[in-house]
Amino acid sequence: MAQETQNHTLTVSGWAAHDSSGEIKPYTFKRRENGVNDVTIKVLYCGICHTDLHYAKNDWGITMYPVVPGHEITGVVIKVGCNAGKFQIGDRVGVGCLAASCLECEFCANSQENYCDQIQFTYNGIFWDGSVTYGGYSNVIVADYRYVVRIPENLPMDSVAPLLCAGITVFSPLKDNGMLGSPGKKMGVVGLGGLGHVAVKFGKAFGHHVTVISTSPSKETEAKGRLGADDFIVSTNSQQMQAGKRTLDFILDSVSAKHSLGPILELLKVDGTLVTVGAPDQPLELPSFPLIFGKRSVKGSMTGGIRETQEMMDPCGEHNITCDVEVITPDAINEAMDRLAGNAVRYRFVIDIAGRISNL
């Protein structure tokens, strides 16, 4: 049992990594009591994002152990603070990457809390009361209502969960780069994993021609079939890469490991834009020539704001867009993490927290 912060009296069962082996074990800890701005949520499902793996293994050197990962959380409100009246007990809600921000800067004022320089994340962050934040691999979470979104009634709580990170992380740069309301663009998605497969679905829903650029030839049939991609380029196949040169308007790169952006940039038309959302622990290679010869741009993007998370959720409800998930019990988290590390998931693991049948 850790964390002796004042007002942290709510005992919660969860799962944590305790060292850089990344092994996840049951962990009992304390959360804050529901405050005036909080809702308490019974967690139903939590997706396993590759970021969880980066943190569990301390890939980025910033992990505060024990770390309770999880920022793709769906659940039901069980307690409501007096300022949080927009939510009611029983509401179906989601929590993503954000736990707190200053609420005063230009970014917070514009619901771009994700770019507030005092941003605190759902786990491995430091909340205002000095406590370390713990994520959704746990049966209950207390969240400031300003970072909670509603889940459309018609969407299943398991396959919707990854929209809270994977979904918004790809929706935000699509919106930011003029890919909403302008159908018919040539869009590339690099890395067909948790983020990438949602990007393909959004790209098709927004009316674009979508090309997947992948290291895994075995993903082609599904990409073009179930996910609806128009083209598939195997990035290690030089003929396919050559044939794809200067064909794309926009590329979203979601690769979790170090790679060179050079050959990928060659796929962009002149003046095209590549947005990277992947967060490898090593710097990406960025050779000058493909940049300068094509007047191309490389940008980054970090999750999304709360308003745009709701903005993403609502059309997902209307068009029934959810994620392709494999639901597991908590006792299978370590196996799932190993498979995620080995690129063997189609396309997101989601932990069934509430219905768990074992204690690891």
Judged by the rule CB under 6 A, the positions of this chain that interact with ligand NAP are: 49-51, 54, 165-166, 169, 191-196, 214-216, 219, 254-257, 259, 277-280, 301-303, 340, 343
Instruction: Tell me whether residue 83 or residue 237 sits nearer to ligand NAP (CB atom).
Output: 237
Using the rule CB under 5 A, give the single segment among 28-36, 165-173, 198-206, 247-255 that binds Zn ion: 165-173
- Specify whether the backbone of 7 is left (phi greater than 0), alpha (psi in -120 to 50) or beta: left
Instruction: Tell me whether residue 131 or residue 256 sits nearer to ligand NAP (CB atom).
Output: 256
Among 51, 63, 138, 276, binds Zn ion (CB under 5 A): 51
Q: How far apart are CA 129 and CA 118, in angstroms?
A: 14
Using the rule CB under 5 A, give the single segment among 45-53, 82-90, 146-154, 255-263 that binds Zn ion: 45-53
Instruction: Tell me whether residue 146 or residue 219 sits nearer to ligand NAP (CB atom).
Output: 219
* Minimal distance, residue 275 CB to Zn ion, in Å: 16
Instruction: Tell me whether residue 274 or residue 340 sits nearer to Zn ion (CB atom).
Output: 340
Note the residue count of the chain: 360
DSSP for 283-329, please give it: PPB--HHHHHHTT-EEEE--S--HHHHHHHHHHHHHHT----EEEE-
What is the four-CA torsion angle of 218, 222, 223, 224, rounded to 10 degrees? Answer: 110
Instruction: Tell me whether residue 40 or residue 172 sits nearer to ligand NAP (CB atom).
Output: 172
For ligand NAP, which residue has the nearest CB? 193
Q: How far apart are CA 90 and CA 86, in angstroms?
A: 12
Q: How far apart are CA 235 and CA 296, in angstroms?
A: 19
Beta carbons within 10 angstroms of residue 360's beta carbon:
14
* Minimal distance, residue 346 CB to ligand NAP, in Å: 9
Q: How far apart are CA 12 and CA 10, in angstroms?
A: 6
Among 53, 140, 143, 165, binds Zn ion (CB under 5 A): 165
Q: How far apart are CA 290 and CA 358, in angstroms?
A: 52
Q: How far apart are CA 151 and CA 86, in angstroms?
A: 14
Q: How far apart are CA 329 and CA 55, in angstroms?
A: 21
Using the rule CB under 5 A, give the single segment among 4-12, 85-93, 145-153, 164-172 that binds Zn ion: 164-172
Q: Is 337 in the site for Zn ion (CB under 5 A)?
A: no
DSSP class of 28: E
SS3 176: helix
* Minimal distance, residue 176 CB to ligand NAP, in Å: 12
**Partner interacting with residue 277 (select from Zn ion, ligand NAP, none; CB below 5-8 Å by kind):** ligand NAP
Instruction: Tell me whether residue 32 or residue 348 sits nearer to ligand NAP (CB atom).
Output: 348
Q: Is 114 in the site for Zn ion (CB under 5 A)?
A: no
| SS percent in the chain: helix, strand, coil, step 5 | 25, 30, 45
Instruction: Tell me whether residue 188 or residue 278 sits nearer to Zn ion (CB atom).
Output: 278
Q: How far apart are CA 299 and CA 261, in angstroms?
A: 12
Using the rule CB under 5 A, give the single segment among 37-45, 74-82, 159-167, 228-236 that binds Zn ion: 159-167
* Minimal distance, residue 66 CB to ligand NAP, in Å: 20
**Partner interacting with residue 131 (select from Zn ion, ligand NAP, none; CB below 5-8 Å by kind):** none
How far are the Cα atoms of 39, 61, 153, 343 from residue 93, in angstroms, in the given order?
10, 32, 10, 29
Instruction: Tell me whether residue 124 or residue 214 sits nearer to Zn ion (CB atom).
Output: 124
Which two structure tokens, joined as six digits, stand for 103?
Answer: 């609420």
Using the rule CB under 5 A, give the single segment among 50-58, 85-93, 124-132, 233-241 that binds Zn ion: 50-58
* Minimal distance, residue 238 CB to ligand NAP, in Å: 15
**Partner interacting with residue 303 (select from ligand NAP, Zn ion, none; CB below 5-8 Å by kind):** ligand NAP
Evaluate whether 32 touches 5 at the Cβ level (below 8 Å).
Answer: yes
Residues that bind Zn ion in the complex, under the rule CB under 5 A: 49, 51, 165
